[in-house]
A = this chain, B = another copy of it.
Amino acid sequence: MLLHTASWPEVEAYLEGSKGIIIPIGSTEQHGPNGLVGTDAICPEIIAHEAGEAGGLLIGPTFNVGVAQHHLGFPGSMTLRPSTMIAAICDWIDSLHRHGFERIYFLNGHGGNIATIQAAFAESYAGWSLDADPCPYRLKLANWWELPGVMEVCRSIFPVADGSHATASEISVTYYAYPAAVKTVTLNPKIAPEGGFADAADYRARFADGRIGSDPSGATAEKGAKIVASARDALVREAQAFFKR
């Protein structure tokens, strides 16, 4: 069940049976020459939407621009400042809490969001902790690629050079979600370099085409389907367990 395609009486009815909701949260940023700018939003969204259908879970709107300052050297990348993202996440949480949601599960698609999402959780909890009222809700962050069993599937499909940005796995997922968007591009070098980075200028200087450590040339929609299936099933189990806690 998608919040966006539900009516409010349907949400009201859902809340009688469950106080849990999943929020896909991603980013809008370059993913190399054959990856989609929306990859990090598309992946958690497609997984969450399929899990919502499979498990009868409510899925909220996708938080689709995150912290991607380091990708701004590549056209199309967008970022929130972390302080803005914290404020926005807190507003989302406050809104959902208003309706009685007690379990908010953020399914994340972007490593660069992790710190800021966790900081936002602490910001949200801090209000309650400083006021000494017990917080009535619980917040959870999970990266889709770390859902139980998913990494194994990815590694079995891409045993070499799945990489850490613009990975073969995530690009496969997006090709599954948007088959018409498959790009055929020659990658050079085939496997991108590894390493760390600071700001956007530094990132671009180190990673000429935007990829880190990956060879996504073998990405296909079919492989993406397998990854999504694995992640979907894991998410249903994880979210159901979280919602019941």
Contact = CB atoms under 8 A, between A and B. Distances in A.
Contacts of A139: 198
Nearest to A68: B95
Interface string A62-78: 10110101101111111
A116 B86 CA distance: 10
A122 to B, nearest CB: 5
A34 interface: yes
Among A28, A38, A129: residue with most chain B CB under 10 A: A129
A152 interface: no
A69 B129 contact: yes
A199 B61 contact: no
B65 A78 contact: no
B119 A95 contact: no
A115 B112 contact: no
State how many copies of this chain the complex holds: 6
A11 to B, nearest CB: 4
Given A36-B6, A79-B91, A122 B185 contact: no
Interface in A189-203: 198-202
B69 A130 contact: yes
A147 interface: no
A124 B91 CA distance: 14
Give the size category of A's interface with B. Answer: 35 or more
A21 B89 CA distance: 25
A33 B9 contact: yes
Contacts of A116: 115, 118-119, 122
A3 B64 CA distance: 12
Nearest to A61: B64
Contact of A199 (B2, B37, B135, B174): B135
6 contacts: A3-B76, A5-B181, A7-B32, A8-B210, A11-B37, A72-B130
Interface of A: 2-12, 15, 28, 30-38, 41-42, 60-62, 64-65, 67, 69-70, 72-84, 86-88, 91-92, 94-96, 98-100, 112, 114-120, 122-123, 125-126, 128-135, 138-139, 174, 178, 180-181, 183, 185, 198-202, 210
